[in-house]
Amino acid sequence: MLHWYAPYPLLSGLEQRLSDAEVVEGTPDDQSIDLWIYDSPDRLLASWIQRKQCAPTTKELVKAYSSLVSLPAGSRLISGWRLEQIDPASLNAWLRGDGEIDAELAAHRQLQPEITPLDGQLVVRILEDFPNVLESYLDLELRAELVGHQPDSTYLERLLHTCTPEALLENWNRLHAEHLSQLQLFNSERDEALAQRDKLANQLKESNDESELTLLQLHEVQEELEHYFLSSRDRANLQTERDTLAAERDTLAAERDTLAAERDTLAAERDRLATQLNESKEEAVLTNLQLHQVQEESNTIVAERERLATQLNESKEEAVLTNLQLNQVQEELERCFLVCREQANLLDRQNHLAQNAIKLASGSTRSSI
């Protein structure tokens, strides 16, 4: 990326040319500045005016030139008015070292840019008080890339040549005419603006009147709508009540039909129950007869049961007696079992003692032998 820097604002056309050549603005502290741009004092003032900035002070003007004069040797310098005569493609190639443009520009070399008398007179007054500004500009012309031009060493003579009384008066008259034209244009625009303002004020007043009338109409419409709304709401309430009553009527009719059906069902059930009652009465008479028979049989069974109960009691007494005898026999058997077991234990101990005696006798016999 190529970079340029100038200590003052450039003319808009020159800045656009640099942008087309793909050269972007850098900062004075940037070590990769490829092109340092300066210009003549009158063009420098014109650039500030074109950008609608405050005119520079003399100190700022001196500082701008001093910063460029103090650049180290080898820095690529070029004046703005020469740079305007180079097309963007050639400028890009020249900065990248891909070509030279001196011969191309020499073929259609242009004169230095024209200086307006009033600007020239202003610069002359500045140079009289600050001659080092002129010296710095001429020094930059000797160090800069001339691209086929000659150094602008006659800059002061060109300034003085443009500052004749006739030229100054002509320049002043032209500027005065331009200012009068601008003033007339401004007055015309102001009159149109005032007329437009009055027209808008009248329209606003009419609009306000129409708005008030519209507001009244809206209030009337709102009142009518409220009346219609209340009427509609009343009608809606009546319709709702009517629908509710109709629904209740239908419900009652349905309940009436349901009750009639239940009544018919109950009547049929009553007839059925009456028939069943008659049948039950007949069955009860028959059941009574059967009950007498059952009672007689029951009496017979009770008598038989008492006889059997008597026999059962006798059997129980015999069983108790037999149980007592069995208990006695069991106790006797248990006593005999215990006696037998004690006798068996005594017999086992006697046998054991006898075996021990035999062993002792055998042992004694062997000892004596």
Whether 50 shows a pLDDT value over 80: the answer reads no
Q: State the chain's mean pLDDT as an integer.
A: 85
Asked if 37 contacts 5 with a C-beta cutoff of 8 angstroms, the reply is yes
List Cα–Cα distances, 226 to 231, 239, 263, in angstroms.
8, 19, 54
List Cα–Cα distances, 65 to 7, 131, 228, in angstroms.
8, 12, 86
Q: Which two tokens stand for residue 33?
A: 């500045």
The pLDDT tens digits for 57-103 are: 888 888 888 888 988 888 889 998 888 888 898 888 888 887 776 54
Please report, as a single letter, which amino acid is at residue 321: L
Backbone angles phi, psi at 78, to 5 degrees: -155, 145
Q: What is the CA radius of gyration of the chain?
A: 72
Write the burial class of residue 6 (CB in 10 Å: 0-12 exposed, 13-18 middle, 19+ buried): buried
Please report, as a single letter, which amino acid is at residue 361: A
**Cα separation of 43 and 120, whole Å?**
10
Whether 53 shows a pLDDT value over 70: the answer reads no
Residue spans of the domains in the chain: they are: 2-163
pLDDT computed for residue 107 by the predictor? 45
- C-alpha distance across the termini of the chain, in Å: 142
List Cα–Cα distances, 143 to 39, 40, 133, 213, in angstroms.
13, 14, 15, 81
Q: pTM of this prediction?
A: 0.47
Which residues have CB under 8 Å from 163's CB, separation 6+? 117, 120, 121, 124
5 by DSSP, 3-state: which? Answer: strand
Confidence at 332, pLDDT banded by 50, 70, 90: very high
Cβ neighbours, 10 Å, residue 44: 24
Asked if 129 contacts 64 with a C-beta cutoff of 8 angstroms, the reply is no
Of residues 264 and 164, more confidence is placed in 264
pLDDT computed for residue 77 by the predictor? 92
DSSP annotation of 9 reads P
Range of lowest pLDDT (46-55, 150-159, 211-220)? 46-55
Asked if 95 contacts 35 with a C-beta cutoff of 8 angstroms, the reply is yes
pLDDT computed for residue 37 by the predictor? 92
Write down the H helix ranges in 100-130. Answer: 102-106, 117-129
Whether 338 shows a pLDDT value over 70: the answer reads yes
Confidence at 106, pLDDT banded by 50, 70, 90: very low
The pLDDT tens digits for 113-153 are: 788 888 888 889 999 999 999 999 999 999 998 887 789 88
259 by DSSP, 3-state: which? Answer: helix
**Cα separation of 119 and 78, whole Å?**
22
**Cα separation of 114 and 216, whole Å?**
71
pLDDT computed for residue 32 by the predictor? 81
List Cα–Cα distances, 105 to 14, 24, 139, in angstroms.
17, 23, 22
* CA 236 distance to own-chain centroid: 46
